[in-house]
A and B are shown apart, each in its own frame.
Chain A
Amino acid sequence: MSNIVLKIDSIEKSFGGLKAVRDFSLFVNKGEILGMIGPNGSGKTTIFNIISGFLKPDKGKIYLNEIDITKLSPHIRADLGIGRLFQDVRVFKKLTVIENVLLAHKNHNIENLLAPFFKTKKIKNEKKKLTEEALKWLEFVGLKDKKDTIAENLSFGQQKLLALAIILFSNPEIILLDEPLSGLDPQMKNKVLALILKLKELGKTIIVIEHLLDFVFDISDRVILLNNGKKVYDGSPKGLQKNHLLMDIFTGNYAE
């Protein structure tokens, strides 16, 4: 088996007349942290939506561990191992913290309509096992003591941590983080930053979209730069820092 977790093969996506993604290809290696940067509207979130299945590309193919997932629906992709942190923090607001995390389990048998009538014992055992696992991840993000709090009563930053715990619990092959630091105060930023670094130590594969360039350059093994839906750089963070491209694009002086 190759080392490539995710492979994107020249995808295109248009909305009406607007070309949001143009001939975009990418591969992500196992255990790699890939930073994705670019100005607003350069297609970063659209690419995340295409990878997680909420948008279908007009052209091109996407492979997860060599399986063609281009035509699969989002929930099947999630089961195959795509975990996503949404830009506008999403948690189940009326449910408790621990219930939120538990919902990310992948044993769909116990969710069957008639399972509670035939598999009572199995559900109980499974629940116990899953709860232990969920608490482990809540401890990891520092929300263990809030496990019975209703999610909407958490602060914005804590909701982000919860969203992260939900994804980690689901143990994905690749984690897509869409602006994990946006809207956070400096203290919370450091906390999330430390968590992402810990994930790196654990060998997780991550793609991260973020506007804070210093942060991206710090944690990424490799960065890609997007402009108008096109990849204009793919390489080491150091290389990009030295490159005039970055300055040109972010100041609007870039000409194709």
Chain B
Amino acid sequence: MNYIFHILTMINIYLILSLSLNVLVGYSGLLSICHAAFYGIGAYISAILMTKLGINFFFALPIAIIGSMVLSLLVSIPSVRLKGDYFILTTFAFQIIVFDVFYNWVSLTKGPYGISGIPSPSFLGYLITGPIKYFFFSLIISILCFVFINIILEAPFGHVLKAIREDETLAQALGKNVTKFKIQAFAVASALAAISGVLFAHYVTYIDPTSFTLDESIFLLSIVLIGGAGNIKGPVFGTFLLLIIPEILRFLGIPDTIAPNIRQMIYGLLLIIFMYFRPQGIAGEYKFE
């Protein structure tokens, strides 16, 4: 039973990650490969605040969100001038830098040893711990995030993002402040990724830099592209599919030593197959050309 709730909890966390990445990739047309960096920033800020300063979870969460939004400016401001491949390189660089900070700033992040003993959240004296309780907790937060994303994307704000994705020049010629919208989209996506990070850190109670690597960013991008970018359904499909595949492998009795490699191969293969035969993903509206 705990096993199923554990997987469902991870699905909740990844739903927030993929839906927020979709705000960039699917709606704004900004292909980002640093989403795991913001996921990690959220996790680390809150883990450090709680283990070192003993701050309550519900204070640490907003601080992590704001921290992540502020750091998102480092990527979104250059993106104003950099287009296409150059923008992807910026996000790549950011991902590498953030990982290096996690790994090497030992006095703050404990580097490769990671931070252990991260306390579970407690709400009015009630400790949210164990897969079942945490599942419901993460479910509430992921539903709130889902609703939030849905509302902003259905609103005129979301329409302008789509317009920028389709034709930036025309959007400008119609009076849209493209710079402002891109910065806002990035801030929103980073804030939501930070929420996932916080949820993750306090669920597993131990984090180290290996959870927030470039591989992870590419994995998140695969979820969005295979599920389908540009609407809400796509990332939801993608998250369920790509998170359940490793569990199926487990049931097939594939030894733990080779399972991760097989998993990577399946992800890679899926990505190639989809890009070739169905570039818009399972349920997406938008394809990269």
Contact = CB atoms under 8 A, between A and B. Distances in A.
Interface of A: 52, 54, 73-76, 78-79, 83-84, 86, 90-95, 99, 102-104, 106, 108, 110-113, 115-117, 123, 127, 166, 170
A57 B156 CA distance: 34
B159 A102 contact: yes
Nearest to A106: B175
6 contacts: A75-B171, A78-B172, A78-B175, A79-B175, A113-B184, A116-B155
Residue of B156, B159, B160 most packed against chain A (CB within 10 A): B156
A95 B176 contact: no
Interface residues of B, number: 27
A176 to B, nearest CB: 10
B173 A95 contact: no
Contact of A92 (B151, B163, B285): B163
Contact of A75 (B152, B157, B178, B184): B178
A48 to B, nearest CB: 11
Contacts of A73: 172
A123 B230 CA distance: 23
A108 B178 CA distance: 12
A93 B166 contact: yes
Given A90-B170, A92-B170, A115 B156 contact: yes
Interface in B167-181: 167, 169-178
Contacts of B175: 75-76, 78-79, 104, 106, 108, 170
Nearest to A116: B155
A75 B177 contact: yes
B167 A123 contact: no
B171 A116 contact: no
B221 to A, nearest CB: 20
A115 B188 CA distance: 14
Contact of A78 (B159, B167, B173): B173
